[in-house]
Each structure stands twice: as C-alpha cells, then as structure tokens.
Amino acid sequence: QVELLKKVKGCDGILCVLTEKIDAQLLEAAGPNLKVVSTMSVGFDHLSLDELKKRGIRVGYTPDVLTDCVAELTVALLLATSRRLIEATHEAKTGGWGTWRTLWLCGHELANSTVGILGLGRIGVAIAERLKPFKVKKFIYTDVAPRPELANMIEAEYVSFDELAKQSDFLAVCCALTPETHGICNWNLFSKMKKNAIFINTSRGGVVNQEDLYEALSTGLIAGAGLDVTTPEPLPTHHPLFTLKNCVILPHIASASYTTRNAMSALAANNLLAGLRGEPMPKELKL
C-alpha cells in the first residue's frame, strides 16, 4: 500500500486486486488524471465507492467468470469440513489410525439435509446446483429481500435470518461485505444454529465475528466451520481458530484455478482499457 501510494501519482488508470485499499487517501495521491479503477475481483469492499463516484471515476470488476470456480471450492470446503477430511489425513499420517472403529471420525452428511444460503446471488445458486445431486432435502435462503428469479432456479425457499439459523444443517455465506453485513455472523446467529450445523464462508472474513465463532466451535454449539476468508488475511498462525480441529481454514483460494484467474485478469484488463478509452466496459460497476 505504501508503494502504491508513492507510485500512483498521475496515473490514468489503476488495475488492482482485493488486497489494495482504494480509498480517499489513494485517490488523492493519484490526482485528477485518474479515470478508471479496475479490480481483478468480484468483491469490491476494498473500494470506497462514494469517493470514486464523487470524483467521476469509473469502476470495473470481474463477476461471472469466477462463479463456477468459487462454487466448486465452496463444495470442496464444505465436504472437507463436514466429513473431517483434514483431521482424517492427519490421523492417517501420524499414527492415529488404529483398528476400524464405529464412531471414529464420523461427520455429517448432505443427504436429507437442509442447506441455507446467506445472501443469494450467482455464487449461491451455483453452490446449490452442485449440492443438489448430494440429495439435499431443502434449500433455504435469506437476503435483504426475496430474489424469486434466482431462488426458482434452485427451488429455494425464502426465510428470515432467524429461521435460516434454526433450520440449516449447512449454512453457506455468500453475501457481499457491506456495512449491513459486517459481523452479522455472530453469537446471535451461532446460538440459534443446530448442534450438528456446519458453517461455511467463502465470501469475506468481515461478515464473521471470529471471537463468537471460536466460542461456538470450541463449546460445541455448532459442529464445524470451513473458512476460505478471515480477518485479517493472512490469519496469523497463532490465531486461536487454528487450534480447533473442527475449523478448516483455507488461504482465500476460492477463485484459484488457472482458467478462472486467467479469465479474471483478461476481464480486468479489458475493463481497464475500455474505461481509459471512454468506451462501455465489459463489466462495469454502476456507481
């Protein structure tokens, strides 16, 4: 960020990734030449949209091209967490594997379950489509308002936030990080969840109150959590969440396939070029 602040002066465009904060300070440092900011991400919580809008700076982002890849990783993380794969490989490698035992390393299965989606968008739909063949019984979701067009694609029922907490056997967080969603996965949510529930977050770490999640996981209030995103990133290796067997933590890799990262970079570059030329961007974020 310090380097960026130094070098941004006089730039006409910025191509950034999600770790770069594009805020008033950076925009001031860039100066009046700046016409376009193109982020190589679908998330845009690192951009101060008000500040960009005020200055008439156009914004490009990369929705759609990463949906399949993120949904796939979400399913992988969900299964790794619910079926305790990381614990299991560790046991196999380190001598914990004794004779076959009836309840050893038992987890929770998707068949006949209720899957809840917090924030139904493209990614939530793609996750549900992938989970359906695992014989999920019911999909439910909550959002600021019902989204019937998307929900119909996966036959998902709109429920309140509380009902989502109460009914979900698996809860996947798919919402954007905004002031409204900041910290919404907190004690209030976890305390209403089932004891067998698995919590999965591949959106942004900021939606989760990590102290509350630690408490919920360590006291057995919920069964497990799979996180691809944390606060901060990287999560310090001494963080308490790393001590829990029922918490699987990945280093923000949901969109990390060669195909998807290539598509994201091409889209980000094309957004930037179109913005600089004053042409319509392939994917512009309307401010």
Ligand X SMILES: O=C(O)C(=O)CO
Residue 42 found at the interface with ligand X (CB under 6 A):
yes
Q: Which helix (H) or strand (E) holds 14?
A: strand 13-16
Residue 66 found at the interface with ligand X (CB under 6 A):
yes
Contact 46, 17 (CB under 8 A): no
Among 5, 21, 29, 43, binds ligand X (CB under 6 A): 43
CB of 111 to ligand X, least distance (A): 30
Q: Which is nearer to ligand X, 40 or 217 (CB)?
A: 40
CB of 204 to ligand X, least distance (A): 7
Please name the residues in contact with 14: beta carbons below 8 A apart, sequence gap of 6 or more: 8, 22, 30, 34, 36, 37, 38
DSSP assignments along 180-242, one per residue: TTTT-BSHHHHTTS-TT-EEEE-S-GGGB-HHHHHHHHHTTSSSEEEES--SSSSPPTT-GGG
Residue 255 found at the interface with ligand X (CB under 6 A):
yes
CB of 49 to ligand X, least distance (A): 15
Q: Which is nearer to ligand X, 66 or 216 (CB)?
A: 66
What residues does 185 pair with on adjacent strands?
Answer: 208
Residue 205 found at the interface with ligand X (CB under 6 A):
no
- Catalytic-role residue among 90, 108, 238, 252: 252
Residue 201 found at the interface with ligand X (CB under 6 A):
no
Q: Among all residues, whose Cβ is closest to ligand X? A: 43
- The residues in 22-41 that bind ligand X, with binding defined as CB under 6 A, are 41
Q: Which is nearer to ligand X, 63 or 146 (CB)?
A: 63
- CB atoms < 10 A from the CB of 208, how many? 28
- Maximal C-alpha separation, the chain: 70
Burial 162-184 (b: 16+ CB within 10 A, else e): eebbbbbbbbbbbbebeeebebb
CB of 254 to ligand X, least distance (A): 6
The Cα-based distances of 119 to 60, 87, 246 in angstroms read 22, 30, 24
CA distance 190 to 254: 24
Q: Which is nearer to ligand X, 16 or 27 (CB)?
A: 16
Q: How far is CA 193 from the centre of its chain?
A: 20
> Is-catalytic flag, 252?
yes
CA distance 135 to 214: 30
CB of 63 to ligand X, least distance (A): 9
Among 8, 18, 27, 115, binds ligand X (CB under 6 A): 18
Q: Which is nearer to ligand X, 4 or 256 (CB)?
A: 256
Q: Which is nearer to ligand X, 18 or 189 (CB)?
A: 18
CB of 4 to ligand X, least distance (A): 18
Hey, which residues are catalytic here?
252
Residues interacting with ligand X, by CB under 6 A? 18, 41-43, 66, 255
